[in-house]
Every structure is written in structure tokens, then in C-alpha cells.
């Protein structure tokens, strides 16, 4: 233990020196202790901090160090990026650079008013000394990190056609990977790679055929948007991204078949955008269950064999473990209340029960549209082998009749009720190790775990909570307003900071 | 152990009455407007086309994800073209305060908007209500006749038998006339999980006192750390959970458990039965 800490300390210090001013893309694979360089903190999407200063024993002494209030309505739904002593936080149309030690504002960018959807924003990205922001009206803007000077501004999709963006880009090498959203129009799913230096488009991956294409693989479906941040394996040189639901959303009759590659985990070559493999977690979805949840990368034993795994707790209520070298299923198991599948097929995919497709008189379906989980990122704890997920057991009613048509939503559905938990899933079995109730309705807070055995997240009222990772018991809480983002942690000048958003404020906690 | 209620029936009634108030034509806000006959604007209002157009854009950007770009309902927000509040609004006198204050209880945030934007949105929503009124149906809606596929006799048997509904409810008691108060989708939602107001059976916090006696109070809200109840005067009192011995008795738990027991057939049958209780 002691030796491990020492090695980590040396490693962290060397990282701190190498990364004082900028975020060299090479560092993204091994982020230093004084930074949080990507949405997930690390390429593997584990959202796990190796910092050891905050422990189950001392977490009760945490104190608020600073608070930054945006002064605007929207809640903070973004995960901060931290590099070179600066912290970058976003809301739709807004990017702030703060001093990571004090929370004081260094600069603020406000995008011109626009009429795209403003539902939330997940965060910025950094490459060397450039910070990137997507906007609701589908611009990608590059800023000089130190003073916010705009370097370039490009359009990544046509917001007039129904696209918008809330995406925190993923930077791999000199590729800035940006996704968009668009559920209310029948538009193809697209992920773009933008040159980090110039803003030029390098490639586009379409999860459903682009407009005008003769491909029929999707069975006529559009959609499959990639609106959350993917993960990356440098050894395989593969990016893993979850794709969204097909459109029209609730009317499955006009898009027969599996509707590839909607509701899927896809593995892409970041240099070309070519699909290496895809795995569909919800073939022929008719319930708006995007598979955008984080594809978490773990190198670990599975059934006695060392493997490169990718795992996802998906909105449809099933937990998937795949071999990420080839996309083959190793485990599929429900982690929340589900009633829509008849079983699991030979490839590890749930078999949708046609009786649970939306009908004119309504069907009662679990989970509901909000899903068994959703945008809020989970965290993987290596020591216990637990994936901690903000989960919901819920029911909804789903309707479709011909009068609802075949455009956009094309149906009606209503959440009936739901109960939420922080739920620890053992990746080896898919079994739930513990549940920690957080309230009614769907949760909104992501999860952070630490090497010291802490799980940090939020409940459905107004508290940030710290649990013991091994058993889910409560260790600490603070009333900060409803948490709608995922916590991050970094260490500066020997002090470990915990950063969480509550309402429209960002809070920094540390030991006194 | 003897249970004593620290809230008198009269006071309890008084404190819950403002939320119930079915009189005066104001319909309870928790009901889905989609299943109701379309309300008509009480005061006809005309807005300039440019203002409606500007409102359409602002509405789509700020409100469209939850309420639908056409204001006819979206991922989490109700259909505003069937809203009683919109129908009774005159040039933003009701919509304005609601939008600026939000509805934190049901997840709607407060919006800071300048008057021009707000007025444009009000114009758009009124215009959409008028437009939809002439459509007679439209998308994204569930009409009462869509739901009429169940068998009322089977539903009655399930209600009194396997479903266990009659353990808490009675067709001649609390549910007498329920189909006159709720129709279509609103009745179905109320049947599945009557979470809004009026709450038919509010949850109770049951405190165990040092003496061993128990005291019950209507629960306002609780979480892992605190319990807030109404005291006998109708005021809110909040207790730290670690300072008291308290248990929550929530009749909604039975409704939640029942969601896992319904088949689609039994759900439609019970609905058909309740729909006979006019």
C-alpha cells in the first residue's frame, strides 16, 4: 500500500511538471493527479480517481473551499475539465474558465442567442492549449485556453434540420470527436472527427445511412445519435461510442428489422471513422432507450481469463459485458426492473417482446422512457470490481396509433412511476452487490469512485453524498441543491479537491 | 403500542384543502390534459403574426424539449394546447409568473426572460391552442376511446380478487364517481399511480417516542437525512433522521408493487371497470 502510494506520488509529480501549461494528447492516456483532462477523467471511462487524500475515515471533515455561481438559470449538467490550474465548466451557449484553486472566474464566453434546443450541456474538451465547446446550434468553437480568444468556429451539423448538441467532445490524437442529438426529426446519426488544429472535418461516421444513400442496413430507420462522450483504447486504437434510439421513435412498423446501428455500442478507428464492430443492445427499439451510456473499458479477469472488456449498464435495463477486441458478448443480465424482453439470444442481445411495442390502448413497460439509467455517467472501482450506476426501477405507458404518423416521436408515452438507487453491479456476474436508495423518479447525478474506497454522487433532492464503495453505506453529505452532473477530483499544492455541481453552482470541497 | 394522531382531522382537512379544491371549475394540474376535452380560451386574444413567429422560435429553443416544439407535449412536459392554465391565461397573467417561478416540485426550472421574449412565447402558446382546437385530435394524444379495450366484469373480479385493490379502495366509497372526475388517460394514470394532487392517501411519518408511544403526522417530504411533516397547526417541521425514530407509511408503495403485477390485459380490464364508476 505505502509503496503503491509512493509510486503514484512520483508519477503524479512528473505528470504535473510535464503538464503545467497544456494538455498534451499523449497525457490523456495517463492523466496526472493535478488535472481532469477529459469528460471521464481517463480514456477508459471508469471515472475513478487514484487520489488517496480523501478517505472513508476523514471524509466527514470535508469543508467547502469555494463556490462558483453562474448567475444564469440553467443547472450545471457538465463535468469540468481541469488542466494547468484552470477549470473549464459549461452550460448551453456558455463556457467559463475558473482558477481551479479559488473558483475565481478567469474568462467567460457566451455564444450568440440561437433557437436550437437548450436542454443541457455535458462539458468542454482540451487539446494542448486549446479548449473546445459545442453549442446547441451545432457549432464547434476552439478557444485559446489562457484567455478565451476564439481560434476558429465551425458548424458540425445543420440545427435547422433538427440537430442540436450538448456533447463534451472526445479528443484522440489530433481528432476532436463531436456528436449531436436529434430525436424529433428523422435525421441520420452522425459522429464527426474535426482536426484539432484547423477545424477541418476529417471523417464522418453515420450510425444510420446518410440522407440520399441507398444503403438499407437500418431497415429505413434514421436516428442513432451519438450525444455522449465515448471511450478510447490506445492499444487497440479503437474508440467506443454508444448510439441512440432509432427514429421515428415509437413507430417501429415503418422501420422493420434490427435498425442497425441504432441503440448499439460501436467500435471505430479514430483515424478513419471506419466501423470495426458493432453490438446492438436494443435491436428494433420502440421505447426511446438510447444506448448512449458510457462504454466503460476494463482490463480484468473474466471467467479465469485476462481480457480486454467493455461494459455498459444500458438505458434498456440490461448490463452488458463484451470482449472489446471483437465485440462478442460475455455477459448480459438485467440490472433493473425489465418486462420488455422474452429472453437473451445466442449473441447476447435481449429479444424484444412484440407485445410490449406501443399500442393504441397502451402497454405498461419497464423501464420507462427515462430509462433504467441514462446520461449520468457511472464509475468503475477496480478493487471491488463494481460498476456503480445511478439506476431506476420504473414503469411507463406507451401508445402508438396510425394517426401518430411516422415522423419524429410518432407516438405518445408517459412515465408512471420510478424509484432510484445507486446500484453496485459486479461485472463478473451482473449481480447487484448493493443498492442505495436516492429517491423517487429518475436520478440525475453521475458517479465518481476513488482508490481510497469512496463513492461520490448525489440524491434526488439536494445532497451530494459520499458512500463506502464496498457496501454502499453513507459516510458524508452536504446540501448543495440538486446534483445534475458528475463529480471530478484533482490535487493541487498537496490538496485534493472534490468538485460537484448543485443547481447553477459549482462547489469545491477539501479537507481543512 | 397505541397510535395517536397528533393532527386533528379538521386541521388535516384544512391543510390539504387548498391543494384539493375541485370546485370553481379549476381542474387539478396533475391530470393529463391530453385525455380531457380541449379547453377553450376564456378570453379570446389576438397576437400579431410576427410575435407568434418569434415566440415559436423562442419556445422551441427554451421549452420544446420538455413540452414539444409544437407545445403539444414532449419528453417530460405536458401538452400545453390542452392546458387549463393556458386557457384561463390573459396575455401572460398566469403563464408569466409560472414560467418565471418554475415548478420545482415537478421538475420545471424557473426561467429568467425579458418581457419581449415572454410575451412572444405567450402569443405562440395561445396561437397553438387555437390551432390545435381546430385540428380535432392531432398527434401525440390519447383519446378515451383508444383505451376502451378492456372487459369491465373481468376488471371488477380482479379489483375485488387477485389485484387486491379492494383492500384499500371501494367502488361505493372513495372511488364512487371516479370516472366522472377523471376521463381517459387521466383515469388510467390515476389508477396506475395517483401521485399528483389531490393525494388520495398522503403518506404518514410515524414517530416512536421515548415512551414507546407512536405519533403519526402527514409527511411533506423526506430523504435519507431529514423528514418534514405538518404539525397540528399545519406548519412544516423538519427533523433530522438520526435524532428521531421514524418510519414512513406510504400507501403508494402498494401501487408501485402493483405495477409489477399487472398484465396489459388486467390493466385494461381494471380501467374498464373504473370507467363504469360514473
* Closest CA of chain B from A216, distance in Å: 28
If pLDDT is split at 50, 70 and 90, which confidence band does A98 have?
very high
A-B CB pairs within 8 A amount to 111
pLDDT, residue A4, reads: 44
Secondary element (H or E) of residue B159 = helix B152-160
Dihedral of the alpha carbons of A218, A221, A223, A224, in degrees to the nearest 10: -30
Determine the average pLDDT of the residues in A35-44.
Answer: 96
Residues of B in contact with A461 (CB under 8 A): 221, 223
CA distance between the termini of chain A: 25
Q: Is B262 an interface residue toward A (CB < 8 Å)?
A: yes
User: Residue A69's pLDDT is what?
Assistant: 97
CA angle B68, B71, B72 (to 5 degrees): 80
What CA–CA distance (Å, rounded) separates A49 from A452?
9
Best residue in A113, A136, A364 for a mutation probing chain B (most B CBs within 10 Å): A364
Radius of gyration of chain A (CA): 21
The shortest C-alpha distance from B41 to chain A (Å) reads 25
Q: Specify the pLDDT at position A17.
A: 38
**Cα A224 from Cα A246, distance rounded (Å):** 5
Supply the DSSP symbol for A79. P
CATH of the domain at A208: 2.140.10.10
What are the two backbone dihedrals, phi and then psi, of residue B60, each rounded to the nearest 5 degrees? -60, -40
pLDDT band at B135 (very low <50, low <70, confident <90, very high): low
SS3 A106: strand
| pLDDT tier, B134 (very low <50, low <70, confident <90, very high otherwise) | low
pLDDT tens-digit readout, A185-237: 889 999 999 999 999 999 999 999 998 888 888 999 999 999 999 999 999 99
pTM above 0.95, yes or no: no
Comparing A354 with B66, the larger pLDDT belongs to A354
Domain boundaries, given as residue ranges, for chain B: 39-135
Residue A477 at interface with chain B, using a CB cutoff of 8 Å: yes
CA distance B45 to chain A (A): 25
A3 pLDDT tier (thresholds 50, 70, 90)? very low
What is the tally of structural domains in chain A? 1
Q: What is the mean pLDDT of residues B233-258?
A: 94
Q: How far is it, in rounded angstroms, from Cα A162 to Cα B236?
A: 46
SS3 A449: strand
pLDDT at A52: 96
Mind listing the pLDDT tens digit for each residue in A434-480? Answer: 999 999 999 999 999 999 999 999 999 999 999 999 999 999 999 99
Question: Does B238 contact A at CB distance below 8 Å?
Answer: no
CB A439 within 8 A of CB B248: no
The answer to whether A270 contacts chain B (CB < 8 Å) is no
Question: In which band, very low, low, confident or very high, does the pLDDT at B141 lie, cut at 50, 70 and 90?
Answer: confident
- How many other CB atoms are found less than 10 A from the CB of residue B170? 13
Q: Which of A305-319, A339-353, A364-378, B131-145 has the lowest mean pLDDT?
A: B131-145
Cβ burial, residue A333 (10 Å; 0-12/13-18/19+)? middle
C-alpha to C-alpha distance for A98 and A460, rounded to whole angstroms: 27
To test the contact with chain A by mutation, choose from B35, B113, B219, B223 the residue with the greatest count of A C-beta atoms within 10 A, namely B223
Tell me the C-alpha distance between A77 and A446, whole Å.
Answer: 10
B60 touches chain A (CB under 8 A): yes
CB of A111 less than 8 A from some CB of B: no
Q: Among A136, A361, A410, select the one facing B147 at the smallest CB separation.
A: A361
Q: Which residue has the cell 396510425?
A: A402
Averaged pLDDT, A350-378: 97
Q: Is the per-residue pLDDT at B73 higher than 90?
A: no
Asked whether the predicted pLDDT for residue A12 surpasses 60, the reply is no
- Residue-wise pLDDT for A315-340, tens only, equals 999 999 999 999 999 999 999 999 99
pLDDT at B64 (0 to 100)? 85
Per the CB < 8 A criterion, the answer to whether A260 and A241 are in contact is: no
Q: Tell me how far apart the 2 most distant CA atoms of chain A are, in Å.
A: 68
Q: B61 to chain A nearest CA, in Å?
A: 4
CA distance A469 to A448: 10
Please answer yes or no on whether B195 and A136 come within 8 Å at the CB atom. Answer: no
CB contact under 8 A, B60 and A337: no
What is residue A23's predicted lDDT score, i.e. its pLDDT? 66
Distance between CA A407 and CA A400 in Å, rounded? Answer: 12
State the cell numbers at A455. Answer: 463513492
What Å distances lie between residue B230 and A180, A225, B11, B239, CA to CA?
A: 47, 47, 10, 11
Taking CA–CA distances from A159, the nearest residue in chain B reads B61
Q: How many residues does chain B have?
A: 278
A288 among known catalytic residues: yes
Q: What is the mean pLDDT of chain A?
A: 93
Q: Is the pLDDT score of A27 beyond 90?
A: no
- Dihedral in degrees, nearest 10, Cα atoms B142, B145, B149, B151: 120
Domain enclosing residue A392, as ranges: 2-510
What's the DSSP call for residue A402? G
Looking at domain B39-135, its CATH superfamily turns out to be Cytochrome c-like domain (1.10.760.10)
Burial of A275 (0-12, 13-18, 19+ CB in 10 A): middle
Q: Quick check: B147 and A397 CB within 8 A?
A: no
Contact predicate A196/A171, CB 8 Å? yes
Question: For residue A96, is the peptide bond before it cis, meaning its omega torsion is within 30 degrees of 0?
Answer: no
Q: Which of A136, A410, A411, A414 to mutate to test the interface with B (most CBs of B within 10 A)?
A: A414
pLDDT computed for residue A508 by the predictor? 98
Amino acid at each position: 500500500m505505502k509503496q503503491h502510494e509512493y509510486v503514484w506520488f512520483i508519477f503524479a509529480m512528473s505528470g504535473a511538471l510535464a503538464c503545467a501549461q497544456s494538455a498534451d494528447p499523449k497525457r490523456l492516456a495517463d492523466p496526472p493527479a493535478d488535472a481532469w483532462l477529459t469528460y471521464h477523467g481517463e480514456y477508459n471511462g471508469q471515472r475513478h480517481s487514484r487520489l488517496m487524500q480523501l478517505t472513508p475515515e476523514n471524509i466527514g471533515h470535508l469543508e467547502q473551499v469555494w463556490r462558483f455561481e453562474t448567475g444564469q438559470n440553467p443547472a450545471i449538467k457538465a463535468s469540468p475539465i481541469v488542466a494547468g490550474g484552470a477549470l473549464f465548466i459549461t452550460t448551453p451557449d456558455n463556457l467559463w474558465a475558473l482558477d481551479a484553486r479559488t473558483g475565481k472566474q478567469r474568462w467567460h464566453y457566451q455564444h450568440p442567442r440561437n433557437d436550437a434546443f437548450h436542454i443541457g450541456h455535458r462539458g468542454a474538451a482540451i487539446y494542448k492549449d486549446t479548449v473546445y465547446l459545442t453549442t446547441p446550434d451545432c457549432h464547434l468553437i476552439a478557444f485559446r485556453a489562457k484567455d478565451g480568444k476564439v481560434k476558429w468556429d465551425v458548424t458540425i451539423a445543420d440545427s435547422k434540420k433538427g440537430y442540436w448538441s450538448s456533447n463534451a467532445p472526445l479528443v484522440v490524437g489530433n481528432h476532436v470527436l463531436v456528436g449531436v442529438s436529434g430525436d424529433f426529426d428523422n435525421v441520420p446519426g452522425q459522429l464527426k472527427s474535426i482536426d484539432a488544429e484547423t477545424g477541418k472535418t476529417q471523417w464522418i461516421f453515420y450510425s444510420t445511412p446518410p440522407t440520399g444513400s441507398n444503403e438499407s442496413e437500418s431497415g429505413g430507420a434514421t436516428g442513432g445519435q451519438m450525444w455522449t462522450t465515448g471511450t478510447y483504447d490506445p492499444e487497440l486504437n479503437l474508440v467506443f461510442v454508444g448510439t441512440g434510439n432509432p427514429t421515428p421513435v415509437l413507430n417501429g412498423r415503418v422501420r422493420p428489422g434490427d435498425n442497425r446501428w441504432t441503440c448499439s455500442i460501436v467500435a471505430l478507428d479514430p483515424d478513419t471513422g471506419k466501423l470495426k464492430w458493432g453490438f446492438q443492445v436494443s435491436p428494433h427499439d420502440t421505447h426511446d432507450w438510447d444506448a448512449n451510456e458510457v462504454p466503460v473499458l476494463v482490463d480484468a479477469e473474466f471467467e479465469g481469463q485476462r481480457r480486454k472488456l467493455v461494459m455498459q449498464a444500458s438505458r434498456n435495463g440490461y448490463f452488458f459485458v463484451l470482449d472489446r477486441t471483437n465485440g462478442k458478448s460475455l455477459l448480459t443480465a438485467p440490472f433493473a426492473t425489465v418486462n420488455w424482453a422474452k429472453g437473451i439470444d445466442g449473441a447476447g442481445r435481449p429479444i424484444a417482446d412484440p407485445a410490449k411495442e406501443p399500442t393504441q390502448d397502451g402497454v405498461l413497460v419497464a423501464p420507462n422512457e427515462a430509462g433504467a439509467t441514462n446520461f449520468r455517467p457511472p464509475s468503475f472501482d477496480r478493487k471491488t470490481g463494481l460498476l456503480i450506476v445511478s439506476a431506476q426501477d420504473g414503469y411507463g405507458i406507451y401508445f402508438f396509433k396510425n394517426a401518430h404518423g411516422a415522423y419524429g416521436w410518432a407516438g405518445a408515452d408517459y412515465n408512471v412511476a420510478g424509484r432510484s438507487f445507486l446500484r453496485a453491479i459486479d461485472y463478473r456476474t451482473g449481480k447487484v452487490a448493493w443498492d442505495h436508495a436516492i429517491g423517487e423518479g429518475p436520478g440525475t447525478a453521475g458517479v465518481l469512485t476513488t482508490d481510497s474506497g469512496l463513492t461520490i454522487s448525489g440524491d434526488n433532492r439536494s445532497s451530494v453524498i459520499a458512500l463506502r464503495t464496498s457496501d454502499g453505506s453513507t459516510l458524508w453529505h452536504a446540501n448543495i441543491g440538486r446534483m445534475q452532473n458528475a463529480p471530478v477530483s484533482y490535487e493541487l499544492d498537496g490538496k485534493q479537491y472534490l468538485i460537484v455541481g448543485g443547481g447553477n453552482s459549482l462547489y469545491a470541497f477539501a479537507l481543512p | 403500542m397505541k397510535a395517536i394522531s397528533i393532527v386533528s382531522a379538521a386541521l388535516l382537512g384544512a391543510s390539504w384543502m387548498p391543494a384539493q379544491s375541485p370546485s370553481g371549475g379549476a381542474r387539478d394540474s396533475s391530470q393529463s390534459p391530453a385525455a380531457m376535452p380541449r379547453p377553450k380560451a376564456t378570453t379570446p386574444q389576438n397576437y400579431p403574426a410576427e410575435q407568434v413567429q418569434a415566440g415559436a422560435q423562442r419556445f422551441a429553443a427554451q421549452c420544446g424539449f420538455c413540452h414539444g416544439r409544437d407545445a403539444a407535449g414532449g419528453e417530460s412536459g405536458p401538452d400545453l394546447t390542452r392546458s387549463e392554465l393556458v386557457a384561463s391565461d390573459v396575455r401572460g397573467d398566469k403563464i408569466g409568473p409560472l414560467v418565471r417561478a418554475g415548478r420545482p416540485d415537478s421538475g420545471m426550472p424557473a426561467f429568467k426572460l425579458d418581457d419581449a421574449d415572454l410575451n412572444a412565447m405567450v402569443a405562440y402558446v395561445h396561437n397553438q391552442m387555437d390551432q390545435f382546437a381546430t385540428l380535432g385530435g392531432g398527434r401525440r394524444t390519447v383519446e378515451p376511446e383508444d383505451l376502451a379495450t378492456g372487459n369491465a366484469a373481468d376488471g371488477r373480479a380482479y379489483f375485488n380478487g387477485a389485484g387486491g385493490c379492494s383492500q384499500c379502495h371501494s367502488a361505493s366509497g372513495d372511488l364512487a364517481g371516479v370516472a366522472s372526475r377523471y376521463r381517459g388517460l387521466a383515469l388510467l394514470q390515476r389508477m396506475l399511480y395517483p401521485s399528483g394532487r389531490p393525494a388520495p392517501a398522503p403518506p404518514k411519518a410515524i414517530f416512536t417516542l421515548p415512551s414507546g408511544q407512536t405519533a403519526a403526522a402527514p409527511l411533506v417530504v423526506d430523504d435519507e437525512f431529514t423528514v418534514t411533516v405538518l404539525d397540528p397547526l399545519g406548519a412544516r417541521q423538519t427533523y433530522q433522521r438520526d435524532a428521531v425514530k421514524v418510519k414512513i407509511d406510504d400507501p403508494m408503495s402498494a401501487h408501485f408493487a402493483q405495477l409489477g403485477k399487472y398484465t396489459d390485459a388486467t390493466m385494461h380490464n381494471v380501467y374498464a371497470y373504473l370507467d363504469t364508476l360514473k
